[in-house]
Amino acid sequence: MFPRVTTVKQGKNTYQYLRILESYRHEGRCRQRVVANLGRVDLLDNKLDRLVNSLGKYCKNKLVAPDKIECKEALIWGSVLLARHLWEQVNLAEILKKHCQSHRQKFEVAETAFVLIANRLCEPGSEHGLARWLEHTFVCDSRGRRWQPQWLAAERITQQQRVKVEHQQLNRWYRTLDALLAAKEKIEEALYLHVRNLFNLKVDMVFYDLTSTYFCRKSPKGQLRRHGVSKDKKPRQVQVVVGVVMANGFPIAHHVFAGNTADKSTLQKVIADLDIRFGLRRVIVVSDRGLVSEQNVDLLSRQQFGYLLGVKGRRCDEASEVLKALSEDRWQQVDPYNRVQEICLSDSKTRYFVIDSTERRGYEESMRQRSMERTQEQLQKIVAAVESGRLKDPVNIGARASRALSKNRGHRYYSWQVAGPGQFHFYEDQKKLAAEMLHEGKYILKSNDNDLTAVEAVACYKELNTVEQGFRDLKDVIDMRPVYHKRDERIEAHIFVASLALFLKRTLEYQLSSRLPELSATDALGAVQSIGLAELDVAGQTRRLVSGGGRDARRILAALGIKEINPPGH
């Protein structure tokens, strides 16, 4: 049944009548008939409202007037919906229940862990940041019960007591971190096996790289917190070194080392771990030049691992010898911007691959020209000072020239002479310049795998960017730095939570790459935030209403097969 307004003319006047009609079929044709005449529209006034209210008690769904609906909260829901889908897809809930839950714990570790990992994936921050995130985001457990922040009363906050979250809630989060760390190795193994079977992955190559993450300024030294070579350009702050092993784009394992650990000294532990826990023996280890050492190459060979490692370019006799053996007629084109050439030295069984990149050469040439211009300006100032008589002592002239060459790597391009007091001459050193130009645009790989072609070697090494992107995600997107924890166990647990969030992000990227390649995982997480949840007070009862989200959000849900957008249990 449906309403319809009918216009009727009576003489010079025109009237509108409201009628209720219904559709029915008669002899195979659709017809309509009048069920009730409600009268003239202009005479109904508020009689229609009373009629609707009277009929409301016979309706299946209760009718509520708009003035009786109040919006209590408008919350973000889409990012948590996506995180929950990925969480269930990789079976993390069951894995954590199996390996982390014990009779001593009076709470569900998996549910609390989801809050920590989802926060690290969607809006990373400290424990206070997590509590604020819970205020404006709808986060619930598998039964649909919402997580609420438990704030201390305002009068209990002092300059000495700055923690604003109730100790009970903080303690639950910290105990969850402890439980996760205790089962770290088992969780990593179970995740690897599940995702390998889920996406039918063939693991014949692993990528290993390292980074560092620093601590807040007041953090003292500890067993892990040490000063070292900072990749974050924070040499004054203590740090830890993190090594990540990735296979098919997924971070299958990570290791935390003391902040003063040298990169090349970490490989032995990683190789033993791959052999014992994952049973990966016939794989090629791909890493950058920071791990190249005779000990590491011997270790990989003894363990029957293949390797594809970067070779240090400048100030390396091995690289110079390889570059001198290049032949212009032996280049193999990989793509319009890259070509490769394989070199085998006479006294070595190692295979070398030299990649010549047009893009990289253009960048390095521009940097060299800028350095040469700046260095020449400094050297011309020394010439002017000597000619004016302001600079005469040969020792002072030499010291100033050395400083000028060291600022912009000028020692790679220029040489100078001081024949006597008040004499200075500099010139462009063609031998140095030729050696420098030989390296421009090129990088060198070495391998012991006889089945690896030159083109495959280039493709494999380019995939190492996945690890580097993972580090950027850990540091920037998932916000692993800086770390504020003081206990070594909590530091490792904090990094483990970040790596699990990265695992979920990589799971999302893997699926989007084939279904929505134009969207990155970061873009997807941002797009689904348009899916909101409103808590409404409808005539004294609480109702939840979920919005459908924007265009990209709907496309993402369809690509991932997410059909139910309501929270669990609703």
The yes-or-no verdict on residue 29 having pLDDT over 80 is yes
**Length of the chain in residues, anyone?**
570
pLDDT bin (cut points 50, 70, 90) of residue 413 is very high
Tens digits of residue pLDDT in 211-220:
888 887 666 7
Domain membership flag for residue 569? no
Closest CA to 240 of 261, 259, 262: 259
- Where is pLDDT greater, at 468 or 460? 460
Are residues 286 and 396 located together in one domain of the fold? Answer: no
Are residues 300 and 352 located together in one domain of the fold? Answer: no
Domain membership flag for residue 546? no
Are residues 451 and 359 located together in one domain of the fold? Answer: yes
Are residues 301 and 359 located together in one domain of the fold? Answer: no
Tens digits of residue pLDDT in 538-552:
877 888 899 989 999
For the segment 132-148, the average pLDDT, to the nearest whole number, is 92
Are residues 287 and 262 located together in one domain of the fold? Answer: yes
For the segment 145-160, the average pLDDT, to the nearest whole number, is 83
Domain membership flag for residue 115? no
Boundaries of domain holding 47 = 2-63
- Encoding tokens for residue 194? 């599940």
The yes-or-no verdict on residue 105 having pLDDT over 90 is no
Tens digits of residue pLDDT in 363-412:
999 999 999 999 999 999 999 999 999 999 999 999 999 999 998 889 99
For the segment 47-69, the average pLDDT, to the nearest whole number, is 75
Q: Is 9 helix (H, G, I), strand (E, B) or coil?
A: strand
Residues 6+ apart with CB under 8 A from 241: 210, 211, 212, 228, 256, 257, 258, 259, 261, 263, 266
Q: Which residue has the tokens 């995702």?
A: 195
Domain membership flag for residue 522? no
Are residues 396 and 418 located together in one domain of the fold? Answer: yes
CATH code where residue 297 lies: 3.90.350.10
* Cβ contact 228:210 at 8 Å: no
Domain membership flag for residue 397? yes
Give the pLDDT confidence score for residue 10 in this predicted structure: 84
* Cβ contact 31:44 at 8 Å: no
Give the pLDDT confidence score for residue 404 in this predicted structure: 93
Rounded to an integer, what distance in angstroms lies between the CA atom of residue 547 and that of residue 528? 11
The yes-or-no verdict on residue 444 having pLDDT over 70 is yes
Provide long-range contacts, Cβ within 8 A and 24+ apart, for 274-278.
274/206, 274/245, 275/303, 277/185, 277/188, 277/189, 277/253, 278/189, 278/192, 278/252, 278/253
Domain membership flag for residue 517? no
Are residues 349 and 440 located together in one domain of the fold? Answer: yes
Give the pLDDT confidence score for residue 533 in this predicted structure: 94
Give the pLDDT confidence score for residue 297 in this predicted structure: 83
Are residues 277 and 363 located together in one domain of the fold? Answer: no
Give the pLDDT confidence score for residue 560 in this predicted structure: 95
Arithmetic mean of pLDDT over the chain: 88
Are residues 233 and 326 located together in one domain of the fold? Answer: no
Give the pLDDT confidence score for residue 457 in this predicted structure: 87
Bridging pattern class, strands 442-447 and 306-311: antiparallel
- Encoding tokens for residue 366? 């521009």
Rounded to an integer, what distance in angstroms lies between the CA atom of residue 472 and that of residue 209? 12
**DSSP bridge pairs for 538:** 69, 541
Give the pLDDT confidence score for residue 114 in this predicted structure: 96
pLDDT bin (cut points 50, 70, 90) of residue 154 is confident
Phi/psi of residue 280, each to 5°?
A: -90, 105
Domain membership flag for residue 396? yes
Assessment of whether the complete model's pTM goes beyond 0.75? yes
Four-CA torsion 431, 433, 436, 438, nearest 10 degrees: -70
- Where is pLDDT greater, at 249 or 476? 249
Tens digits of residue pLDDT in 482-497:
677 878 899 999 999 9
Closest CA to 186 of 310, 275, 96: 96
Tens digits of residue pLDDT in 163-198:
788 889 989 999 999 999 999 999 999 999 999 999
Lowest mean pLDDT among 43-47, 337-341, 562-566: 43-47
**DSSP bridge pairs for 423:** none
Q: Which residue has the tokens 């989200």?
A: 549
- Element containing residue 535 per DSSP (H, E): strand 532-538
Last residue of a domain, one of 447, 462, 477: 462
Closest CA to 212 of 246, 250, 261: 261
Q: Which amino acid is at 377?
A: E
* Cβ contact 342:353 at 8 Å: yes
Give the pLDDT confidence score for residue 302 in this predicted structure: 80
Tens digits of residue pLDDT in 480-537:
766 778 788 999 999 999 999 999 999 999 999 999 999 999 999 999 999 999 988 8
- Encoding tokens for residue 97? 């229940």
Are residues 306 and 400 located together in one domain of the fold? Answer: no
Are residues 439 and 317 located together in one domain of the fold? Answer: yes
CA angle 418, 420, 423 (to 5 degrees): 60
Residues 6+ apart with CB under 8 A from 503: 90, 191, 250, 251
Are residues 16 and 57 located together in one domain of the fold? Answer: yes
What is each CA distance from 499 to 114, 187, 253, 256, 495, in whole angstroms? 13, 12, 9, 12, 6
Domain membership flag for residue 232? yes
Last residue of a domain, one of 63, 97, 113: 63
The yes-or-no verdict on residue 206 having pLDDT over 70 is yes
The yes-or-no verdict on residue 96 having pLDDT over 90 is yes
Rounded to an integer, what distance in angstroms lies between the CA atom of residue 182 and that of residue 283? 28
What is each CA distance from 296 to 269, 270, 287, in whole angstroms? 11, 11, 11
Give the pLDDT confidence score for residue 477 in this predicted structure: 64
Q: Which residue has the tokens 């060198």?
A: 444
Give the pLDDT confidence score for residue 121 in this predicted structure: 92
pLDDT bin (cut points 50, 70, 90) of residue 160 is low
**Number of structural domains, the chain?**
3
Tens digits of residue pLDDT in 272-288:
888 888 877 667 888 87
Phi/psi of residue 128, each to 5°?
A: -65, -40
Last residue of a domain, one of 43, 63, 83: 63
